[in-house]
Every structure is written in structure tokens, then in C-alpha cells.
Amino acid sequence: MDCTILIYTLDRPAYVARQVSYLKAVLPQYRVMVGDGSTGSFAAENAAAVQASGHSLAEYRPYPGVSPAPRLLNLLREVDTPLVVICADDDFLIP
């Protein structure tokens, strides 16, 4: 099954780190895209959290100051899999 997981976040690097690390552990075969509306240091910390996760299929997309709906629409335009899951940074997917 080919699936992309879209995560939206704002100013919560600890949640981003936890979410991407969790997905690396339980669903490592899926592409993960983090759409971040944060600005300033929160954006830098979120980008660093995705990078530090070591998840080879995790991607960080900055959308500073952009509300969740437009962020998700932009992320959806980049999806190239037949299935997609949208979740917040504090949601958990149970396989």
C-alpha cells in the first residue's frame, strides 16, 4: 500500500519530533510531509526536528504564517501516492 502522511503544525517542535520519530518506528515505509505554519525560532526548531529524526522519507515544508487549510492544500498538491492521511502533530496513527 502506497501512502503519504501529511502533518500540520504550528509552534510545537517537541510534538513534531515525537510524531516523526514515532512514524519512523511504526510506519517507516510511508512518505511523511510536515507543513509548518511557524515563524522564527519555532520554524527553525521544527525543521531541525524533522532532520534529526533520521526518517529518510520525512520532508519539511515551511509555510510561515499560513493557516492550516492552505498549508494542507499545498501539501496535497505534492502527493504522488494513491492514498493520503492527514493528521495534526499530536495525532497518532495506529497500524
Give the tens place of pLDDT for each residue, 72-87. 999 999 999 999 999 9
* pLDDT above 90 as % of the chain: 96
Report d(CA 25, CA 40) in Å as an integer: 29
Q: Which three cell numbers stand for residue 55?
A: 526518517
Amino acid residing at 29? Q
pLDDT at 1: 63
Q: Which string of DSSP letters, residue by residue, matches 6-56? A: EEEESS-HHHHHHHHHHHHHH-TTSEEEEEE---HHHHHHHHHHHHHT--T
Report d(CA 66, CA 75) in Å as an integer: 12
- Judge contact between 24 and 58, C-beta under 8 A: yes
What mean pLDDT do residues 1-10 have? Answer: 94
Please tell me the pTM assigned to this model: 0.95
pLDDT(58) > 90? yes
